[in-house]
Chains A and B, each alone.
Chain A
Amino acid sequence: MESIGSFLLDQVLKMNWLSDLLWEPVVALGLDPSSAWGGSVHFFLYDTIKITTLLCVMIYLISYVQSHFPPERSRKIMGRFDGIGGNIMGALLGTVTPFCSCSSIPIFIGFTRAGLPLGVTFSFLISSPMVDLGSLVLIMSIFGPEVAVAYTLVGLVIAVVGGSIIERLHMDDQVEAFVRGDAPTDAELVSMTRTQRLAYARDETASTFKKVFPYILVGVGIGALIHNWIPQEVIEPILGSSNPLSPVLATLAGAPIYADTFGAIPIAEALFAKGVGLGTILAFMMSVTTISIPSITMLSRAVKPRLMVVFIGICLVGMTISGYVFNALQPLFS
């Protein structure tokens, strides 16, 4: 069993065979594999191919699963739970409900008008971009299953706790007037046939690929730069364990950046190889995926500034804390 598990992890998810194979074009180009140029070219080819392949396979599978969980349905499920149960369901359903920034406002309004507590809606809104099956598999392919599971659990905890805090603060007056209003006429769910689900999964894969591929290239490019050109002595004092503020820096640096896990992971991978702590890296990835200037701009159309500040603050503090916790726990993961 164990050998099957490690085969799946090393050869299927991590694609070690591909890594071995790709030294050949590097050598064929006349580059020394141990030189910075050779290493950069190899890192770039290997990560681009690996991440793109995982992206396409995962988005296809995920989209198929997600087609069973339209937000209308998730809303009904969440509505059946009270108190913290609602927050937990919100965080869990956030991971499987299809979510693009163009749907965030309609979802926010739909949930609110249906009478879902504000805290439950925010649990959903926090977990939705941060945790999904794609990031779970991707993190597993680079950092191993323990780290991937830990990342997912931490993301869910931040979503549940964050939503609960927002609930306790009674900020229901902090949403724009148009968000309130009549409860929606229970819109008839347009269900899909199997063929339509497969077509949906195919289209999602194609459009996600088109959207994300440039980010992957940029991410892998930065990763290759860090991996082979920036010496450890430069990175260590800023993001390494010698700087007690490194999780704070990583969280703040990631916040304005708009990318998803697929663009962030090559940078995380390269930083990890340079001795940056696991927690610092997880904090950076969460921050990149969850908060960004476009997503904040979008949400601020429906949410008043005070709630916006609370939302961003909770996310930043939650990510920073988990950064410290994981840095402290890192010996357990190696």
Chain B
Amino acid sequence: MAEKVVVYGSGCKRCQQLKANAEKAVAEKGLGVKVDYVTDMGEIATKGFMSMPVLEIDGKAVVSGRVPDAAEISMLL
């Protein structure tokens, strides 16, 4: 079960959509974890991410550069 869910993005529409989908998936599974949202460019760069947005679960990037729906995120969790 996922313990830490982070969305990285630059505040664009797609990034916010990914965060919303992730929150929906987390809520549906009743995980009770908060979805963090990182927009700091320095931090994103240190991680080496370039395709926004990125979804990271427990420290591992699982989605990059696209916006999967809540059902797919649910599977990843």
Contacts and interface: CB of A to CB of B under 8 A. Distances in A.
A200 B52 contact: no
B15 A107 contact: no
B37 interface: no
B31 interface: no
Chain B interface: which size bin?
20 to 34
B20 to A, nearest CB: 14
A106 B44 contact: yes
A67 B64 CA distance: 11
B45 A113 contact: yes
Interface of B: 9-12, 14-15, 41-42, 44-52, 60-68
A242 to B, nearest CB: 44
Contact of B41 (A101, A105, A196, A200): A105
A119 interface: no
Nearest to B12: A102
Given A102-B10, A190-B62, A107 B47 contact: no
Interface residues of A, number: 34
What is the predominant secondary structure among interface residues of chain A facing chain B?
Answer: helix
Given A70-B64, A184-B45, A199-B68, 10 more contacts: A103-B51, A103-B52, A106-B44, A107-B50, A109-B41, A113-B45, A186-B48, A187-B48, A188-B60, A188-B61
Contacts, number: 86
Contacts of A109: 41, 44-45
A106 B66 contact: no
Contact of B66 (A105, A179, A196, A301): A196
Those 6 A-B pairs whose CB atoms lie nearest each other, nearest first? A184-B48, A102-B12, A187-B48, A109-B45, A71-B50, A110-B50
A106 B46 contact: no
Given A105-B41, A203-B67, A190 B50 contact: no
Contact of A185 (B42, B48, B65): B48
